């Protein structure tokens, strides 16, 4: 990324000394922030660290002027030392919360409009930002069809369109692949070099930044993993010739995973990792291919806000659960969120909501578990806890697929790996068999997955012939062990899973006509609209 600086960035001022004695959401509640005293300097990157739920996002909201909210009962006792809250620009941890327009190009025209640029200049600036952030082929894309990582990039690109003396970035690297993360780090350094003060929250503890540690904690050992039941599958999970709208990978995705197996799904932002998991979970239709799932599926989305149904966190966990409330409480205690159970999920931090969502996936006791970026928003301690729970699930015979940008975190399980990259490989995906266990008895050994060669006929477990389909097909069965052949109808619907469908169109800015011309020109130049998730 090579990002030019907008007019007015890095306006003079500072340094500022921030002193916060305490912040409470209500007088009777415990303080979320307490006894903080730190400097903020122009031209520097400040890393706000601490475990999940310690108040990192709350601190950014206080510095950005969003907290205390007008009319709330929140209590803030602080001396911000002249900190320019009115000039600060803050990114949300959930990037979907800050996207306002229906298309990518419209979103990036909002900043130039704010600066009262001419239509010609506004379009030029927006297209330049698209190129700088690696989003050039997404100009006409509907924002509701972006992957989580693409939405993250768009949100950060849009934020950079506005002049600011301070940038407040909440977990800006979550959901980005390695190349995008490196580019974002370089962009943040470039922004700081203009004189802008940058504060970013971080659970990964990236080195080399000025650190503001809200709640230092040492490495704690993972305690005994609580027992929870798993209804082990009796069949393989099979996908053959699977494609989706916008797929450019030739024959489609095919693989087979056995009970007790772990498959790590990798690929760049927008390659289709989330879309694949949603297909396997029955949350979206596919136009071609065949899927056979060994029993019920537990799907834990990347964004925990996509499945909030209950008034309190315990009710959220028990929605659709077959495990007992005692199982839920034991897992919550292990995961450090026992005190969150009576609270609304909407009052929790991103990391706390993530853990509640993961616990909900486990107490459903499904034979197959689909985890979309399960490590995002988790600190090191809770990552270790998650890996311990995943190991217990696999040892009980469960089958898991994990979409991740951090495959190295799961290396001790010796998983199979499915890499999706339609733009880089002829078939759109590559399959890597599980590595052998040198000792023969590894604790995390998982070797329950094999590839299904595309275009071949294979034997199913009951002797039936399995043909990858190029087109046509109908649902052939539904039940405790189900399979379907594309094109298909939805067999299960999460009302929040298809964001942007069935809702009023998002507003256009005053350059809407110009953006329509840009989109039309983009298509005429050969940039086809592609759907990605």
Domain boundary among 213, 229, 252: 213
The two tokens of residue 381 are 């301690």
d(CA 90, CA 166) in angstroms, rounded, equals 9
Asked, for residue 337, whether it belongs to a domain, the answer is: no
d(CA 356, CA 165) in angstroms, rounded, equals 36
Indicate if 191 and 90 belong to the same structural domain: yes
Given a contact cutoff of 8 angstroms between Cβ atoms, the answer to whether 413 and 399 are in contact is no
**36 burial level (CB within 10 Å; 0-12, 13-18, 19+):** middle
d(CA 168, CA 57) in angstroms, rounded, equals 9
Q: Across the 533 residues of the chain, what is the mean pLDDT of every consecutive 10-residue run? A: 50 84 94 94 92 91 94 94 93 91 95 90 92 89 92 92 92 92 90 93 64 68 80 88 75 88 94 91 84 90 87 94 93 95 92 95 94 93 94 94 96 94 68 66 40 32 30 26 36 30 36 49 42 35
Indicate if 180 and 258 belong to the same structural domain: no
Indicate if 144 and 45 belong to the same structural domain: yes
The two tokens of residue 328 are 């839920």
Given a contact cutoff of 8 angstroms between Cβ atoms, the answer to whether 112 and 122 are in contact is yes
Indicate if 153 and 254 belong to the same structural domain: no
Indicate if 61 and 104 belong to the same structural domain: yes
- Give the residue carrying structure tokens 């399995």: 466
Strand partners, 465: 459
Asked, for residue 125, whether it belongs to a domain, the answer is: yes
CA 503 to chain centre: 22
Asked, for residue 86, whether it belongs to a domain, the answer is: yes
Indicate if 133 and 273 belong to the same structural domain: no
Output the furthest CA–CA distance in the chain (Å, rounded). Answer: 74
Q: Where are the alpha helices (DSSP H) in 163-248?
A: 178-193
Asked, for residue 200, whether it belongs to a domain, the answer is: yes
Indicate if 82 and 195 belong to the same structural domain: yes
Given a contact cutoff of 8 angstroms between Cβ atoms, the answer to whether 153 and 183 are in contact is no
Q: Where are the alpha helices (DSSP H) in 400-440?
A: none
CA 53 to chain centre: 18
Domain count, the chain: 2
> Quick one: pLDDT at residue 427?
59
CATH number of the CATH domain containing 118: 3.40.50.300
Domain boundary among 466, 485, 504: 485
Q: What percent of the chain has pLDDT over 70?
A: 75
Asked, for residue 246, whether it belongs to a domain, the answer is: yes
* CA-to-CA dists, residue 314 to 229, 359, 484, angstroms: 18, 10, 34
> Quick one: pLDDT at residue 163?
82
Q: Where are the alpha helices (DSSP H) in 405-531?
A: 512-524
Indicate if 179 and 262 belong to the same structural domain: no
Indicate if 141 and 279 belong to the same structural domain: no
Indicate if 197 and 245 belong to the same structural domain: no
Given a contact cutoff of 8 angstroms between Cβ atoms, the answer to whether 132 and 108 are in contact is no
Asked, for residue 327, whether it belongs to a domain, the answer is: no
d(CA 231, CA 297) in angstroms, rounded, equals 11
CA 38 to chain centre: 31
Backbone angles phi, psi at 320, to 5 degrees: 80, 10
Structural domain boundaries, residue 43: 16-213
Indicate if 35 and 158 belong to the same structural domain: yes
d(CA 265, CA 259) in angstroms, rounded, equals 17
């Amino acid at each position: 990324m090579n990002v030019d600086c907008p007019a007015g960035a890095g306006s003079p001022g500072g340094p500022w000394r921030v002193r916060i004695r305490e912040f409470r959401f209500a007088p009777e509640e415990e303080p979320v922030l307490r006894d903080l005293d730190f400097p903020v300097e122009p031209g520097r990157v400040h890393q706000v660290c601490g475990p999940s739920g310690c108040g990192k996002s709350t601190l950014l909201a206080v510095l950005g002027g969003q907290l205390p909210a007008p009319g709330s009962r929140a209590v803030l006792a602080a001396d911000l030392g002249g900190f320019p809250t009115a000039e600060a620009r803050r990114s949300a941890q959930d990037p979907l919360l800050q996207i306002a327009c229906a298309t990518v190009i419209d979103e990036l025209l909002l900043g130039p409009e704010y600066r009262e640029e001419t239509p010609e200049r506004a379009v030029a600036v927006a297209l330049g930002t698209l190129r700088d952030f690696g989003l050039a082929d997404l100009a006409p894309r509907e924002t509701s069809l972006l992957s989580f990582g693409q939405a993250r990039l768009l949100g950060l690109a849009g934020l950079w369109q506005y002049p600011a003396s301070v940038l407040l970035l909440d977990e800006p690297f979550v959901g980005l692949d390695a190349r995008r993360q490196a580019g974002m780090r370089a962009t943040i350094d470039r922004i700081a070099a203009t004189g802008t003060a940058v504060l970013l929250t971080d659970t990964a503890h990236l080195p080399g930044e000025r650190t503001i540690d809200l709640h230092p904690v040492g490495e704690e050992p993972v305690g005994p993993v609580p027992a929870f039941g798993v209804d082990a599958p009796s069949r393989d999970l099979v996908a053959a010739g699977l494609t989706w709208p916008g797929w450019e990978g030739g024959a489609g995705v095919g693989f087979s995973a056995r009970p007790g197996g772990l498959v790590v799904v990798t690929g760049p932002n927008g390659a289709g990792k989330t879309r694949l998991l949603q297909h396997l979970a029955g949350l979206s239709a596919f136009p071609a291919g065949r899927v056979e799932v060994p029993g019920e599926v537990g799907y834990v989305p990347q964004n925990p806000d996509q499945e909030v149904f209950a008034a309190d966190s315990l009710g959220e966990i028990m929605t659709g659960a077959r495990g007992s409330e005692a199982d839920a409480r034991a897992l919550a205690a292990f995961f450090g969120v026992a005190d969150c159970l009576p609270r609304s999920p909407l009052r929790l931090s991103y990391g706390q909501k993530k853990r509640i969502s993961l616990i909900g996936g486990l107490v459903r006791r499904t034979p197959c578990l689909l985890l979309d970026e399960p490590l995002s928003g988790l600190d090191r301690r809770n990552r270790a806890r998650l890996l311990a729970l995943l190991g217990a699930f696999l040892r009980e015979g469960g089958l898991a697929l994990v979409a991740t940008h951090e495959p190295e975190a799961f290396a001790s399980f010796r998983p199979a790996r499915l890499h999706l990259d339609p733009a880089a490989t002829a078939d759109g995906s590559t399959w890597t068999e599980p590595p052998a266990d040198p000792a023969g008895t590894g604790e995390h050994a998982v070797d329950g997955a094999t590839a299904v060669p595309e275009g071949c006929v294979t034997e199913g477990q009951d002797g039936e012939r399995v043909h990858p389909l190029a087109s046509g097909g109908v649902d052939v069965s539904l039940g405790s062990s189900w399979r379907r052949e594309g094109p298909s109808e939805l067999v299960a619907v999460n009302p929040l899973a298809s964001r942007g469908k069935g809702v009023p169109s998002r507003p256009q800015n005053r350059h809407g006509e110009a953006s329509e011309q840009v989109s039309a020109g983009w298509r005429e130049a050969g940039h086809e609209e592609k759907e990605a998730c």
